[in-house]
Amino acid sequence: MEHKNAGNIKIVFLKTSDNLIPIASTDLEINDEEIIEIYKRRWDIEQGYKELREHFGFGKEENRIYEALIARMTLSFFAYNIVSYINRISHEPKTIGGLFRDLECELYTLSIAMHAFIEIMDKIAKIETIVNRNEDFMTIIATLRSTTQELLGFRCES
């Protein structure tokens, strides 16, 4: 078939349970199966970009500093790869969005648990006899606070 802008094209139809999907190729030398296989690989890439935009903020950068843009894009891809890997090894295929929401909930739960743990440690630290027996107790609490900030990006304060 000839297209007025693309020139000669080959059209292959992919049958799904609901309809036929036309796939156009300008490479007239490859067979129908190869065209469909290339389309499937390309579709996975497009779905990946869609998930990156929807769940990981890709393409929503508001900074104009080059290094900040690169850092933001790198973090988006890194987060996407981590979530995709977890999805792959969990043997329970979920949508990336669903898995992201689950992980986000787990992180929030972890932060609440860490906050509660630090509050408990603070209350124990106020018991004079325990503090007198263990001079490093306040150092442990300070280390928990700073480590929480480094790992989770915020401080747990009582």
In this prediction, residue 158 has a pLDDT band, given cuts at 50, 70 and 90, of very low
Helix H or strand E segment including 22:
strand 20-25
The confidence score (pLDDT) of residue 94 equals 63
Strands 10-15 and 2-3: unpaired
Query: Which range among 32-36, 116-120, 150-154 has the greatest average pLDDT?
Result: 32-36
In the predicted structure, residue 148 carries a pLDDT above the cut 70? no
Contact 25, 43 (CB under 8 A): no
Token pair for 79:
């987060």
Task: Compute the average pLDDT of residues 9-18.
Answer: 87
Where are the alpha helices (H) located in the chain, listed in sequence order? Answer: 32-56, 66-89, 96-125, 128-133, 137-152
Q: What is the pLDDT of residues 57-92, one digit of tens each?
A: 777 777 778 887 888 788 888 887 777 777 777 766
Task: Compute the average pLDDT of residues 109-118.
Answer: 72
Q: Which residues pair with 21 in a beta bridge?
A: 14
Greater pLDDT, 114 or 37: 37
The confidence score (pLDDT) of residue 124 equals 65
Q: What is the pLDDT of residues 41-59, one digit of tens each?
A: 888 788 888 888 887 777 7
> What is the pTM for the complete model shown?
0.44
The confidence score (pLDDT) of residue 34 equals 92
pLDDT above 70 covers a percentage of the chain that reads 68
